[in-house]
A = this chain, B = another copy of it.
Amino acid sequence: MAAKEVDFYFDFSSTNSYFAAFLLPAICGRNGARVNWLPLHLAALFRGTGFDVMAMHPAKARYLWEDHRRYAELTGLPFRRPSRFPIKTSACLRAVLAVKQLSEEQSRSTDAELSAGAFSQGIFRAYWEHDEDISDRAVIAALASELRMDQKRLFELMEDDQIRAELRAVTERAIQRGVFGAPTFLVGDEMFWGKDRLDFVERSLRR
């Protein structure tokens, strides 16, 4: 039997993706499954679906921030409402793909997906815990250095046309699979949307 896998589509601008990025690995860990970290360009996806986060009714937006605060309290994750919202994330999303390629180029003992996971969690923390401006390359540089990555090569890859095309391809493929928002989890063809469905993801992995 092939190893179990969860395709995890996320964007750094999505609050619920932040929560999922820290809760999903534990769920996968205890069920012998691996996480495929798949950066999704939500801004591009929403251009197609017509969704506009800024068009949200103020009463709903107010409620959702309070809901996130309660969820952080429940999970113990040190979530903090960022002062910049929404934020451009395309550079960070390309960086995730660049980290995977860098990891393969360096034939490190660390798996490309594990590197992508550590990097992605670092960006999520910077934005949703430390209120950093993740559209600023300095944040990516600092994280790369912390994770002992080759910064120069990482930035080269990030700006490479091939990685730009790959981000478009990952997003396109997600749309073809029925993805309409983030976080989305796919276990085989079973799709689950939102952090509130992590229990369904776990039930699916247990079967």
> Which residues of A are in contact with B by a Cβ distance under 8 Å?
49-51, 55, 57, 59-60, 62-63, 66-67, 70, 74, 175, 178-181, 191-193, 196-197, 200
Contact = CB atoms under 8 A, between A and B. Distances in A.
Number of copies: 2
Given A70-B200, A193-B67, A200-B70, A51 B59 contact: no
Contact of A180 (B59, B67, B179, B193): B59
A59 B9 CA distance: 16
Q: Is the interface of A mostly helix, strand, loop or mixed?
A: helix
A59 B197 contact: no
A63 B193 contact: yes
A187 B178 CA distance: 37
Q: Which of A49, A63, A175, A179 has the most CB of B within 10 A?
A: A63
A191 B196 CA distance: 18
Nearest to A178: B59
Contacts of A196: 196
B49 A180 contact: no
Nearest to A57: B49
A51 B51 CA distance: 12
Given A70-B200, A196-B196, A200-B70, A178 B63 contact: yes
B62 A178 contact: yes
B180 A57 contact: yes
A60 B200 contact: no
Contacts of A59: 49, 175, 178-180
Given A62-B178, A178-B62, A196-B196, A57 B67 contact: no
